Each structure stands twice: as C-alpha cells, then as structure tokens.
Amino acid sequence: MINFYHDRDMMRKLLGLLGSARKNGNTEVLIKEALMGAEEVGAETGMIRLTDLSIRPCTGCMACVFRNEGCRIDDDLEWIFEKMVEADAIIIGAPTYYLGACATIKLFTDRALQFATRLDRMHGKVGASIAVAGLPEWDAFTVPILNTCLLAYNMRIERTLVAYAPGPGEVLLDDKVVESANSIGKVLAGAAEPEQQNSTGLCPVCRTDLVRITEKGAVCPVCNAKITIRLENSSIRLEYDANSVVNHRWTEENFEAHLNNWIRATEKKFKARFEEIKNLSQKYREFDRWIEPP
C-alpha cells in the first residue's frame, strides 16, 4: 500500500486540501509550492482534491449532535477527517467565484458539525489558507470563508496568502507570491517563525479584515472579537479587544458551550412546542407547487 504522505525525514505532517477542480491551476500550484517548502525542511506531505471526492450537503437532520450518531450521509467526509487527524498542519486553498471561495469549501465547512463531539482530535493543529482571485475588488469573502473552515475544524490559523492571477498557472509570474507560498510550508513545518500581523489591521484570530457594525459596537463577524475603529491621519485603524481575542467564539471551551447550551438545548424547546408547530405548519406541508425538470 502506498503511504498517503510523501516519505521524508519527518518533522511534521502537512496536508493540502484543494477546493479547486482545475488541474494545475493557481490554487494547486500554490499549495504544491507550500508543500514543497515543507518538504525542503523534512516534513511529510500529502494532498486531497476535494472536488474529486463525494461530499454531499448537510441535510440538517442533527442526529450527529442530538443523538451522538455518526453522520447518516454515506460519502467521503469521514475519510477526509481521518486524514486531517493524521496531519499536524493543514493548508486549504480555493479560487474566488462571485466574491467568495468556491462552493466546495462552504459544503465542506457545513459538514464540520458532525465532528463537533470529536474536535478534540484536532487539538493543537495549525492551518493556513491560500486564496486566489482575479481582482482585489472581487474577493471580499474568500479568505473569511476559507478561514472559517479552518476554525470550524478546530485549527489555529498561522498564515493566509492572497494571490491575484486569472489564468491557470499565471500566478507563477509573481516571484513574491511563490516565495510566500513556499514560506507557508516552512512555517507550518515548524522551521520558520510565524509572521507578526499586529499592525496589518487583520483580526489576530481569523486574519480577516471584515467588520460588522452592531448596536453594541463593531465586531469581527468571523470570530466575534470586539473592534474599535479609529481614524488617524485620514487612515482607518482597527484595534481588536485583547480579552475577546483570547475568548473568541471558536475556542474549544466556547464552541463546546455553544454546542451544549444552544444547539442541543434547541431540541428540548422544539419538542415542548412540537404539536403547536405541527398545527401551524400544516398548510405549508399541503402547499405543493414544486417544479421539476422533464
């Protein structure tokens, strides 16, 4: 049997997850460059193209959290999760379609709920994301979607790379981007120091620049860290509250509390009013106007 990981004198095991269906496209090239960088310092590497596997949509049956059952969907996700558990670090990459990461990444993220009671197996793992787009003005949600995926699978985000190149392989014309991808592999392999991003305006938890304005103030919509927006010399500066950065929504403790105190608690509330809901929804069950292809 062929070992899943490329054999080298091991430092760490790195897994690349490709959200792109395009063979030898920019996403694949950059993930391979990152893995090559890891191999240069002795790490073992492997890749999975998510679009080559069966990953079906979550049906919302909730059996995985209400009954602690395995997912009822028979596809390749359990196999992918086991390969993630085997790795020490994971690099996920995707192209940008209509402002955000391709649909494969959202599909993969939605299914993370089935592992909610097993995320301790991902404890201590680190991740990085590689986003590819054509234009800076058209990729607002690509990194947030990719990094939400890493956080949903209980990883600490070490690095994020954004590359702009529309044609397949065109990213190779940018030496700086290629070098950055290579360095990601070395960082995740533990052979290089993670970059400090305190002054970049990125959230220190999810490494995104999104801001949500609420009645209580500004927050990072991905990790819920509180933000103070300051205007200095005609420039906007974002300050992230230190306490909410440490206690962001994706910590193991906070996510477990969300799972037990909210998600699981909804079952009891629903059952208590089941008959009322059933009666109210009767006319909607009877409303049948589905249109299907011939």
Residues 72 and 26: their CA atoms lie apart, in Å, by: 35
What pLDDT is recorded for position 101? Answer: 98
The pTM assigned to this predicted structure is 0.92
Backbone angles phi, psi at 13, to 5 degrees: -105, 125
Q: Are strands 212-214 and 217-219 parallel, antiparallel or unpaired?
A: antiparallel
- Kindly give the residue spans of alpha helices, DSSP state H, lying in 68-141: 77-86, 103-110
What pLDDT is recorded for position 69? Answer: 83
What pLDDT is recorded for position 190? Answer: 87
Question: Can you name the CATH fold of 1-195?
Answer: Rossmann fold (3.40.50)
What pLDDT is recorded for position 139? Answer: 96
Query: What residues does each domain of the chain span?
Result: 1-195, 200-294
Distances (CA, A) of 294 to 80, 287, 289, 291: 36, 21, 15, 9
What pLDDT is recorded for position 196? Answer: 56
pLDDT along the chain (294 residues), means of 10: 41 93 96 98 97 97 89 96 97 98 97 93 96 95 98 97 95 97 96 58 94 96 96 89 97 95 94 97 96 96
**Residue from 153, 245, 161 nearest 198 by CA:** 245
What pLDDT is recorded for position 195? Answer: 61
Residue 100: left if φ>0, alpha if ψ -120 to 50, beta else—which one? beta
